[in-house]
């Protein structure tokens, strides 16, 4: 029986092959929803983990690593929210389970091993380039989802001018050959748009309409522009258009592959 990801790929390719079909997505309904369940913070093991998370947040604050960041992050294990991390102007608050009264902007899969890894990374109070790259492996798809649920995608209207394909791939370039425990790290994602909904697959899957390979610096710049700068410019069409132009400039120079019939 075909896997769900294979069915999605087949549906997307067939839809794009229709004679006269427009290249770019015109209808966007946001990221496909995934079920996330709350979890009680009363479990003893979870309480110990929360203490570790609190210490990590303090270490990150002291190192200035949260400066300029505003996010509500759900950390999930097997679809259940184990922590809510609220980052506001460089200060982090860690709560067990799904905190009431806030809406998550990022949902990140989490394990105890990731907590241990972060503790090691933050021990010297700074982030080396290879450490940032390895962290991005965990955050890459959550950050893509965050962008695709921004107001400019979610508000009604034709989105074809955004030049978003319905079968895209994104990869962080790794010219330094960063590794994790001896294995070269490949930070990549395949993004499909099916009936207006964005669906995300880990890695490079299939033959996309377009593939982008961006540097880590450009990826961070894109996220800042498309999330924080766009929110500040929300009331100014002129400023939003400038951000759109800057975004297209980065993406156009980052194209490493386009399907021939485009």
User: How many separate domains does the chain show?
Assistant: 2
CATH number where 224 lies: 3.30.1050
Say what the pLDDT of residue 50 is. Answer: 74
Return the structure tokens found at 107: 């949902």
99 and 183 fall within a common domain: no
170 and 262 fall within a common domain: yes
pLDDT tens sequence for the chain (262 residues):
444 444 344 344 433 444 445 678 898 888 987 666 665 555 545 666 777 788 888 888 877 778 888 999 999 988 889 889 999 988 899 998 889 999 999 999 988 788 888 888 888 877 888 888 888 999 999 999 999 999 999 999 999 999 899 999 999 999 999 988 788 889 999 999 999 999 999 999 999 999 999 999 999 999 999 999 999 999 999 999 999 999 999 999 999 999 987 6
pTM: 0.85
Q: In whole angstroms, what is the distance from residue 6 CA to residue 169 CA?
A: 15
Work out the angle between the directed axes of helices 44-62 and 112-121 (0-180°, nearest 10).
30
Q: Which domain holds residue 80?
A: 36-127
Q: Residue 203 in 3-state DSSP?
A: coil
Say what the pLDDT of residue 46 is. Answer: 61
Is 14 within a domain? no
pLDDT in tens, 108-137: 998 878 888 888 888 887 788 888 888 899
Q: Which distant-in-sequence residues (6+ apart) come within 8 Å of 166 by Cβ? A: 12, 15, 16, 25, 192, 193, 194, 209
Is 51 within a domain? yes
DSSP E strands: which ranges in 22-141?
A: 30-31, 37-38, 71-77, 80-88, 91-96, 106-109
Say what the pLDDT of residue 21 is. Answer: 52
154 and 262 fall within a common domain: yes
Say what the pLDDT of residue 9 is. Answer: 42
Cβ atoms of 76 and 36 within 8 Å: the answer is: yes
């Amino acid at each position: 029986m075909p896997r769900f990801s294979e069915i999605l790929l087949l549906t997307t390719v067939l839809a794009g092959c229709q004679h006269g079909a427009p290249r770019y997505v015109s209808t966007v309904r946001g990221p496909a929803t995934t079920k996330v369940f709350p979890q009680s913070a009363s479990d003893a093991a979870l309480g110990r983990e929360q203490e570790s998370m609190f210490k990590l947040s303090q270490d990150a604050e002291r190192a200035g690593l949260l400066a300029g960041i505003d996010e509500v992050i759900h950390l999930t294990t097997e679809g259940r929210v184990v922590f809510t991390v609220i980052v506001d102007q460089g200060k982090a608050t860690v709560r067990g389970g799904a905190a009431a009264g806030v809406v998550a902007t990022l949902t990140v899969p989490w394990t105890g091993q990731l907590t241990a890894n972060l503790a090691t990374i933050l021990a010297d109070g700074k982030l080396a380039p290879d450490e940032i790259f390895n962290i991005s492996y965990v955050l890459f798809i959550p950050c893509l989802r965050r962008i695709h649920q921004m107001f400019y995608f979610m508000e009604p209207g034709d989105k074809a001018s955004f030049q978003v394909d319905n079968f895209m791939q994104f990869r962080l370039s790794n010219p330094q050959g960063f590794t994790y425990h001896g294995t070269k790290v490949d930070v990549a994602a395949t993004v499909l748009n099916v009936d207006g909904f964005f669906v995300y697959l880990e890695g490079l899957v299939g033959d996309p309409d377009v593939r982008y390979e961006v540097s880590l610096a450009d990826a961070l710049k894109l996220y800042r522009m498309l999330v924080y700068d766009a929110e500040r410019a929300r009331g100014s069409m002129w400023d939003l258009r400038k951000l759109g132009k800057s975004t297209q400039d980065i993406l156009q120079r980052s194209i490493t592959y386009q399907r021939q019939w485009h």
